[in-house]
Amino acid sequence: MQCMTADLSTDLSELLRLILNMIRVGSVIELDYDAKLVRVQVGKNTPTWRPWAVHRAGDAQTWWPPSIGEQVILLSPEGNFDNAVILPAMYSDQFQPPSNNPAHHTTRYKDGAVIQYDSAAHALTAILPDGTSVSAVPGTVTSNAEDTICTGNLTVKKNLTVNGFAALNAGMNVKAGKGGGAAAMVEGVMQATVDVIAKAVSLIGHKHGGVKQGNDESDVPK
């Protein structure tokens, strides 16, 4: 009877261990990006390499691996770490949330970039570090916003077509292309409210010689 009691105690202890190991919290200590595997420290245990769960891995795929020190969950069928899947993730002292506002949907990246949608303010914000580039290729990018404001410089490396009225409030500088020809062509009437100056000659202020005052008119400008 004593032996049976000891065996029963051992079995219950092992069963309890397996139950407790079914869901455990650990921290990432190693990553194999090519194999898509991770090792997690669970207390004093370091289970073997295991896959981490992803958002999509079918006809659509996502790639966002965990990081060293990230606190994760081990889901281990039958309490066996060798069969575990690594689930994301929990905040820790090392990695704090980028916001605690319930209206925010926020992602903060390693380089400091922050992408945030504020459902209360209806505002989508992207805060990007210096040197960041944004690309949309190929095809067409369409903005249906009523107003679009660019607070920095804008460079257009090919043609610019404006189908509506264009207002240049701080002047403009137009240069001829490398192939020569006119720097600017206007189809229709060109109006200037002050003056037009060509090679320091005023359109309205220049004078013509070889004429006498009175009702006579000069020849056309040469």
**Model confidence over 96-139: pLDDT tens digits?**
999 999 999 999 999 999 999 999 999 999 999 988 888 888 88
Q: How far apart are the first and last CA of the chain?
A: 126
pLDDT at 79: 92
Rg over CA atoms, the chain: 36
CA-nearest of 130, 128, 104, 99 to 114 is 128
The CATH code for residues 1-90 is: 2.40.50.230
**Residue ranges, CATH 2.40.50.230, the chain:** 1-90
DSSP state of 5: H
Answer whether 73's CB lies under 8 Å from 81's CB: no
CA-nearest of 75, 69, 72, 106 to 88 is 72
Two tokens, residue 159: 């043609």
Per-residue confidence band for 5, with pLDDT thresholds at 50, 70 and 90: low
State the number of CA atoms in the 13 A half-sphere of 124 facing the CB: 0
Answer whether 117's CB lies under 8 Å from 102's CB: no
Per-residue confidence band for 56, with pLDDT thresholds at 50, 70 and 90: very high
Two tokens, residue 132: 């960041």
Query: Three-class SS of residue 12?
Result: helix
Question: What predicted TM-score, i.e. pTM, was given to this entire model?
Answer: 0.72
Across residues 49-55, what is the average pLDDT?
96
CA-nearest of 61, 34, 37 to 48 is 37
Across residues 6-29, what is the average pLDDT?
85
Answer whether 68's CB lies under 8 Å from 57's CB: no
162-202: pLDDT as tens digits: 999 999 999 889 888 887 788 888 899 988 889 988 888 88
DSSP state of 219: P
For 90, list phi and psi in degrees, rounded to 5.
-135, 145
Mean pLDDT of the chain: 88
Q: For residues 24 and 132, what is the distance between their CA atoms, to the nearest angstrom? A: 38
State the CB neighbour count (10 A cutoff) for residue 66: 19
Burial of 76 (0-12, 13-18, 19+ CB in 10 A): buried
